């Protein structure tokens, strides 16, 4: 799986796809659902975003899974859409705490429990969240691509950092989204405690 192709595909839902709990999963919560096993964007994603208000709360909304993506559903969808040739019939959606190990088992990258050396294209994993590293800035801050409430967006961690400023600049390209959801930063916890999967040609995939 080519790193830059993966990033390009993963950026497609940015700015018009809401966070939906279970989005991308099947009804049994055992793996990829229909939306994470389809090429291209989900048919309901944009429409659901357009209807969402500034006060969108995924816990209260309880939208159908087909209306958006959660963190693992999003990364699994991006993997499915970036793989050239034969795709795994079961898809690539896994629980966050085993996501990295499953990726390595499938030969899609190298897993390390130490994510302190994060690089562009790495999938960062820990129990509770999975995200894609778009880069590490000169001040050590990280540019993040993820599905995190309210939805699929680019953020910077921590607040006030170079990555935060870069993320804010990027998300302003989506004025309808930015007008509703202008927060483009996350906390310092995104800098530590994550393992990583390193994908790309350097690992023969």
Tokens coding 137: 């800035």
Q: What is the predicted pLDDT for the residue at 26? A: 97
pLDDT-derived band of residue 203, with 50, 70 and 90 as boundaries? very low
Give the list of residues 6+ apart from residue 60 with CB closer than 8 angstroms, or none: none
The Cα diameter of the chain in Å comes to 45
pLDDT-derived band of residue 201, with 50, 70 and 90 as boundaries? very low
pTM: 0.96
Range scoring the smallest mean pLDDT among 54-68, 164-178, 191-205: 191-205
Q: What is the predicted pLDDT for the residue at 142? A: 98
The secondary structure of residue 122, as a DSSP letter, is P
Q: What is the predicted pLDDT for the residue at 205? A: 28
Tens digit of each residue's pLDDT (9 = 90 or more) over 103-159: 999 999 999 999 999 999 999 999 999 999 999 999 999 999 999 999 999 999 999
Tens digit of each residue's pLDDT (9 = 90 or more) over 41-97: 999 999 999 999 999 999 999 899 999 999 999 999 999 999 988 899 999 999 999
Paired with 132 in beta bridges are 123, 145
Tens digit of each residue's pLDDT (9 = 90 or more) over 25-40: 999 999 999 999 999 9
């Amino acid at each position: 799986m080519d790193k830059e192709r993966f990033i390009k595909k993963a950026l497609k839902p940015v700015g018009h796809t809401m966070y939906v709990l279970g989005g991308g999963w099947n009804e049994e919560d055992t793996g990829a659902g229909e939306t994470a096993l389809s090429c291209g964007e989900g048919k309901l994603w944009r429409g659901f975003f357009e209807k969402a208000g500034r006060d969108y709360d995924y816990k209260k909304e309880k939208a159908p899974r087909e209306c958006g993506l959660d963190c693992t559903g999003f990364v699994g969808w991006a993997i499915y859409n970036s793989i050239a040739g034969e795709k795994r019939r079961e898809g690539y959606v896994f629980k966050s705490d085993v996501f990295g190990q499953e990726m390595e088992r499938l030969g899609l990258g190298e897993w390390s429990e130490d994510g302190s050396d994060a690089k562009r294209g790495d999938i960062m994993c820990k129990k509770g969240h999975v995200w894609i590293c778009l880069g590490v800035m000169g001040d050590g801050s990280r540019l993040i691509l993820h599905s995190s409430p309210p939805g699929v967006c680019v953020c910077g961690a921590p607040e006030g950092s170079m990555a935060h400023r870069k993320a804010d600049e990027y998300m302003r390209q989506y004025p309808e989204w930015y007008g509703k959801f202008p927060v483009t930063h996350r906390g310092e916890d995104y800098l530590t405690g994550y393992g990583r999967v390193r994908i790309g040609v350097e690992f023969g995939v």
